[in-house]
Chain A
Amino acid sequence: MALTNETIKQKLQEKFGDQVSGFEEPYGLLTFEAGKEVNLKVLNFLHSDEYLNFIFLTDICGVHYPDDKGRELVVVYHLHNLQENVRVRVKVFTSIESPEVYTATGIFEAANWMERETFDFYGINFIGHPNMKRILNVEEMDYSPMRKEFPLEDQSRVDKDDEMFGRDRMLAF
C-alpha cells in the first residue's frame, strides 16, 4: 500500500487523537499541528514507525505571528520519507512568554544546528539541546532579529539621516 496523505493522517489520529490537529494539504504537502508537549512523541512516531518511516529531517524553521495571542511562535519541522518520496510538515505552536520546546536532537542528529539557528533568530529555547547557543549571528547580539518587533535595519547606526532616504515620508503613506 502506497503511503498517502490520507493514511498518514489516519495513523496519526489513531495514535495521538486530539493532540494532532489542523490537517491541511497546501500544494499536496500534508501539514498538521502537534501539541507542544507531544512534539517528540509525534516526531519519533513518524521517524520510527515501520510504515511511516520519515527518516530524514529536511528543515526546522521558526515563524512569528505577533497577533496570535498565546500561540505567537511556531517551530516547523519538515520530514521526508526517502523511500516513498513523501514529505510532511509538522507545526508546533508555543507562546512567546515561555518559548520552550523539547529538542529533536535525540531523534535526528541534523536537528542540532537547525535548532541553534531557530534559537538564534527567534529566541526559541530547545530544552535538552546539547549546545544551545547562537550559530549565525555575532555572539554579542542580545535580541532575536527575526521577531517582528525588530526592524530589519541596523538600529545602532547614527550616520543615516532618515529624511535623506525618504523614510519619514514613507511612514505617512
Chain B
Amino acid sequence: MRPVSYNVKVKKLENDISMAEMPDGHTGQGFFATKLDDVIGLARKNSIWPLPFATSCCGIEFMGTMAAHYDLGRFGSERLAFTPRQCDLLMVMGTIAKKMGPVVKQVYLQMAEPRWVMAVGACASSGGIFDTYSVLQGIDQVVPVDVYVPGCPPRPEAILDGLIRIQDLVGKESLRRRNGDQYKALLESYGIQ
C-alpha cells in the first residue's frame, strides 16, 4: 500500500453549520439590538453575486477559484450570474482592449447599486505587459475599482484574498455612502450620471 502522508487524521467539525459572526450590539433576554448598517452589511457580504468578466488567462484562474477545490461558494459567492442587473460584484479578469472599454463601462452601468468592482490581474489593473496603443491601461480609466488583485495571472488564493477584501468593504460600508457627495463626485469623474 502507498504510504499516505496527508489527511490521515480525521478532523472533527467544530460545528455542523458554519455561522457568520454576530455584529456588536446589546443583548438581553429575548432581544438583540444592533445597527442596521451592520445587519445589512453582514447579509450583503455573505451573499455577493459576482459577475465574471473574463477575457484571458486570469479568467482560467478564476474558473479554478470558482470550482470545487478553492470554492468561491465558501464565501457565499457561489451564485455567479452573467446578467449585470442581478449582480453586486463585477470581476474584470484579463486584458481589456481600448475597444472593449465601453463594453466594460456599459456592463458597470447596467448593474444596480450598490455595486463593487474588482480588477483581477496585472492587465485589468494597469494594462500589465501590454503597454501598447490598443490596450486600455487599467480598467480604472473607465470604471471605479474597489480592489486590485496583483499577479500575472494571480493564483486562486490571491483571487480569494481579493474577494475577502471586497467582503470587508461590503460589510463595513455605511448605508449612506452611495448617496454621499464624495461618491457622487467619484462617479461624476467617470462621466456617470
CB distance from B170 to the nearest CB of A (A): 28
Give chain A residues whose Cβ lies under 8 Å from the Cβ of B99. Answer: 136-138
Q: Are A152 and B137 in contact (CB under 8 A)?
A: no
Residue of A nearest to B131 (CB): A153
Contact for B98 among A138, A152, A153, A155, CB less than 8 A: A138
- Whether B91 sits at the interface, judged by CB under 8 Å, is no
Chain B interface size range: under 10
A residues with a Cβ closer than 8 A to B are 136-138, 141, 145, 150, 152-155, 157, 159-160
Partner of B134, one of A145, A155, A157, A160: A145
- The answer to whether B131 and A160 have CB atoms under 8 Å apart is yes
A-chain residues with CB within 8 Å of residue B127 when the two chains form the complex = 154
Judge whether B133 and A145 touch: CB under 8 Å. yes
Identity of the chain B residue whose Cβ is nearest the Cβ of A150 in the assembled complex: B133
**Could you mark each residue 128-163 of chain B with 1 if its beta carbon is under 8 Å from any beta carbon of chain A, else 0?**
000111110100000000000000000000000000
Cα(A152)–Cα(B132), bound, Å: 5
Q: Considering the complex, give the chain A residue whose CB is closest to the CB of B130.
A: A154
Out of A141, A154, A155, A159, name the residue touching B135 (CB < 8 Å): A154
- B131 surroundings in chain A (CB, below 8 A): 152-154, 157, 160
